[in-house]
Amino acid sequence: MANLQMADDAVLVFASADNRAVLTLNRKHFVRLHNTGAQHAGIIVCTFDPDFVRQASRVDDVLRISAELQRQLLRVNRPTV
């Protein structure tokens, strides 16, 4: 749904209807949606990392240690090195 200018809550509803998690760099808005108690299949918020391979690896690492994604908010942050 990227670049379609959909409202964040509409993206979450769209993804949830198909039991899909949302992976986003739009941390502030999706953390807020999660905190409102919105039903969802999972939200993964990331900080921007121009090294996409490294970022994908960190997302994979977080998903591997997470027991359940349903209704969870997972944070993937770029290292501060």
pLDDT tens-digit readout, 18-66: 999 999 999 999 999 999 998 999 999 999 999 999 999 999 999 999 8
Q: What is the pLDDT of residues 62-81, one digit of tens each?
A: 999 988 899 999 999 988 76
**CA 17 – CA 11 distance, rounded (Å):** 10
pTM over 0.85: yes
Under the phi-then-psi rule, with left for phi > 0, alpha for psi from -120 to 50, and beta for the rest, what region is 52? Answer: alpha
Inter-CA distances, 51 with 17, 28, 65, Å: 31, 22, 22
